[in-house]
A and B are shown apart, each in its own frame.
Chain A
């Protein structure tokens, strides 16, 4: 018994160190991969164009890759934990469809990246608040109610999105909406990320502070009640924080598929438990995925490609390998 605990801890440590190393390596690689030829020595020498490109475009993009992936991983972990559901992800209670409908409204009625970001954020929050309000109608406080309400809001938001697509100019706006839904870090620059990153970091800190409570929610509800946790309120609070985290990221990048679902799963496969370490590892896996996917998205073709293609291409085999390795050991 003791032996196995040690081996699990060692395994977790190895996973942590290698994960963090890969994440940092990808972060630095992400700083120096791109169409504009950035050279470290010239940046240090103060070449004004090099410095400007580095600060305005490259750095902010790498930071969004790092923090965005991390945040999506953490939020996915929280969702899966509090719903006891391995398939729960921010999409399930309407965050992404709300954000998409919001972004579509931004593309149709306003101009500029800032307005699209604001609208997407608003759409995501409205969808989730609506879902949570609906779920409070069920006084029993079952967690399945939140999911059901989420599914209803999700389809409602899809309908709104469809209406927006219908009135969009197919040559221009419709294409923009479709591209937004595929997700890309291409439009990121230092001016639009500040607020989002700040809010996102605050929520991440809150999620870490509350991590013990979220793990308690994962245990039997009666047990949690005995330990003095107000389940309903705690679940609501965690949901709000993780939703805002996700909204901050997707409102800048467009939808990024799979990370919220896959990163925490992979982490759990590695650590074999549901503790804080798994949560952090989920974040690290998320970061690696998004950074890696974005590096590919900007370098494999002559034009920019949607990042979601690569999060899925990189993520799916990774998860499959983990599942099969887990099987063999059993």
Chain B
């Protein structure tokens, strides 16, 4: 990697020398000059590779650096061309904002989605984001406010397709993302990392997520091997205890990852659905899990007279997903931690408290730069 930086420096020096202007003009280089510079790098790079062929092993064989301009296909299928490495980014979606922190480029954010002060992850990891100008939410996006920030990359949720089209016309590159499930989340990570030249960090993140995935898979095998019955789980939604996630939802996948079974998965619905107490009693789940942002508490559920005969309440197996950093029940980059937490809750003999704590600690320490357990 070091060699590459040397090359980059040389290339920069070359383009500097080519410039007749003073230092100020150089810093305001036009896009074409930047492209030229990067092309110079790639030229020398190939020469270098040829020269290196004689050497036995090339450790840094994979070069993650992005050559600009680059064309990306976003999750709405739009082709977006990014002329140079983005320096002023607006993220209008908490999931992409969290991803940018994980990729280590939160300092390039100039605008953020609404209600950033309500998300503990910013307070813990990147407090400065809370004070950034808000560009609104998917429901009421502040188009003019976003343009006024003069961003060179805007990341928005799929719902803001129209706003994206308008900004595209004004010459602002917009990437639409749609992290509805784990696969789409990883795809989003890939798109954002490519756009922002942070592929190396992304690979690290993906490797970490994969590691937890295989740990969970091992746990499921062990549980099944030991002849333990799959734990049945009722997931109680944010707004109401009787609101739950049907089969088509991310939350059902999350429960399955942790080795559980969503009792509501018989409902073929890809949204939150409202059910009745009778239905909960008929399912009689062994565990009741409250979402991170639930408006009610575990106490409320344990004291709910309608549920006194429910197995989960009788055995005191009612838990709320942690909400200290992020809502792990939503497809955020840290979503896999929700599955680890749930595995620890359902099968403490197989995923111990220590194991769970270490995993969470390492994740936030590595990608967000704070200690989860000490905060």
A-to-B contact residues, CB < 8 Å: 34-37, 48-49, 52-53, 56-58, 111-113, 169-172, 175-176, 179, 184, 186-187, 189, 298, 302-304
B145 CB, nearest partner CB in chain A, Å:
3
Q: Could you tell me which B residues sit within 8 Å of A by CB distance?
A: 114, 134, 136-145, 147-148, 159, 161-162, 166, 169-171, 239, 270-272
Contacts across chains A and B counted by CB atoms under 8 Å: 66
Question: Majority SS of interface residues in chain A?
Answer: loop
Contact partner of A53 (CB less than 8 A), chosen from B114, B137, B147, B162, is: B147
Whether A186 contacts B134 by the Cβ 8 Å rule is: no
Known contacts A35-B148, A37-B148, A56-B169: does B161 contact A186 (CB below 8 Å)? no
5 pairs from A and B in contact (CB 8 Å cutoff): A56-B169, A172-B138, A189-B166, A302-B142, A303-B137
Say yes or no: B161 contacts A304, CB within 8 Å. Answer: no
Kindly state the separation between the CA atoms of A58 and B144 in the bound complex, as whole angstroms.
9
Neighbouring A residues of B134 by C-beta, 8 Å? 302-303
Q: Looking across the interface, which residue of chain B has its beta carbon closest to that of A114?
A: B162
* Residues B143 and A169 in contact, CB atoms below 8 Å apart: no
User: CB-CB < 8 A to A186: which residues of B?
Assistant: 140-141, 143
Are A172 and B272 also in contact (CB < 8 A) when A179-B140, A303-B134 are? Answer: no
CB pair B161–A111 under 8 Å, yes or no, is: yes
Closest to B145 in A: A35
> Which of A37, A49, A112, A189 contacts B161 (CB under 8 A)?
A112
Residues of A contacting B171 in the complex (Cβ-Cβ under 8 angstroms): 48-49, 52
Is A172 a contact of B159 with CB atoms below 8 Å?
yes
> Contacts A111-B161, A113-B162 known; A303 to B140 CB distance under 8 Å?
yes
- Chain B nearest CB: distance from A181 CB in Å? 12
Residues of B within 8 A of A36 (CB): 144-145, 147-148
Given the known interface contacts A35-B148, A36-B145, the answer about A304 and B140 at a Cβ–Cβ threshold of 8 Å is yes
Q: Closest Cβ of chain B: how far from A289's Cβ, in Å?
A: 21
Please name the residue on chain A nearest to B162 by beta carbon: A113
| Cα A52 to Cα B171 with chains together (Å) | 10
Please give, as numbers and ranges, the residues of chain A lying within 8 Å of B142 by CB-CB distance: 35, 302-304
Q: Which residues of A contact B161 (CB under 8 A)?
A: 111-112
B169–A53 CB distance below 8 A? no
Contact A184 B166 (CB under 8 A): no
Residue from the list A113, A176, A298, A303 in contact with B114, Cβ < 8 A:
A303
Collect the chain B residues with CB atoms within 8 Å of residue A170's CB: 239, 271-272
